[in-house]
Every structure is written in structure tokens, then in C-alpha cells.
Chain A
Amino acid sequence: EPEVTQTPSHQVTQMGQEVILRCVPISNHLYFYWYRQILGQKVEFLVSFYNNEISEKSEIFDDQFSVERPDGSNFTLKIRSTKLEDSAMYFCASSVGQGGYEQYFGPGTRLTVT
């Protein structure tokens, strides 16, 4: 069964460094998402992406964050200058459509900022 994959599974970085989290969505899906989950808290929406542009972003998704679909398969989240509070699990998701269509989540990347 097709699934969303994410790499790396765990990333440790120093404060101020740039990180790129990678995702390979399910191949026939058109909508892509990034979420984060700080330890012990609920999953939070970051950004949605469709037709090679951001369709929506949350208040969390500030200028430090960017997303890109550099080729036909990868979907990346870049954090330019990491802060301690960026430490979280980052989940990528994809869906065929919006609204009632199921979003399929990847296994997540645990980002630890020291």
C-alpha cells in the first residue's frame, strides 16, 4: 500500500542552523501539508501546498519557514535559523483532494534543537 515517507527520522541541530526536512508524498496525491507536534501537545497545522504554491499557512509558519517541491516526488520543509522552540515532531501529509479527503501522514521527523 502506498505511504508517505519522511527523512530523516531524527535530526539534531544547533540553534541558528538551517535544517531541511524531506518528505515523499503518495504519488497520485495533489495536496501536501506540514504539521508539527511539540511533545505532549496537539498536532498543529503549518502549511498546505497545491499546484506548486502555498495555499494556506498558519501563524506558526513565519519567515523562518519555507516549503518547496523541487522535483516531481519530494516535498521539503526548510527552517532557516532554528530556535530551541522548533524542537518537535514534524509530520508531512498528502491527500488526493481537499476538505473531506483523507490526509495520509508520514511517520514524522523528530527535530531536536540544542
Chain B
Amino acid sequence: ETGVTQSPTHLIKTRGQQVTLRCSSQSGHNTVSWYQQALGQGPQFIFQYYREEENGRGNFPPRFSGLQFPNYSSELNVNALELDDSALYLCASTAGRSSYNEQFFGPGTRLTVL
């Protein structure tokens, strides 16, 4: 198992609500990426944080936002939840921004939007 942890494990929300998901990166890792994995599909990149700054963003609307803290843990915030936001949200931590660096995934947060 990796040292990446996520909370909560499961979450149920209703349309229009807001949600905050949390990720603690592996010790020594300063880069955190967030992915959305819909049922039966591959993970889709949301955004990446490197040393507290956004370092890249995928094709997700602005209601998906994030933060990275000085200890390199991270939050993913989603506003105005939609039914299609139901998915497994994965964070992955890396030691640096190089494309060769292995990404270590957390166990994910399963979000259900009703």
C-alpha cells in the first residue's frame, strides 16, 4: 500500500450542494494530482498542484477547484454538484513534476450525487 490517504471514504450529496475531499500525500512528495474515475472508465485528470500552486488543469469546469497546503496535503472542492459528478475521486502524489515520476494513488473517495 502507498502512504497516500484520502478522506472521506464515501460521501452522499444532493444536486446543487458543495463538497470538499481531502488527500494526504506520501512523505517527501510535493506534487498532488486529482483524477475523476467514472464507473467503468479510466481516470480523468482534473488538476495538479506543485508546491501550493496549480500546475496544470484538465478539461473540468471552474466549479472544480483545489488547494495545496504547506505540508503538501491537498483539497478538491466541487461546487453546484451535478448527477454526473458521481464518481471515484483519486488523488496521486509524486516526488516532483517530472513526467517520469511514478504517481502513487490513494484509495479514493466514492462520491454519490442524488
- A complexed with B: no
- Chain B interface residues toward A at CB < 8 A: none
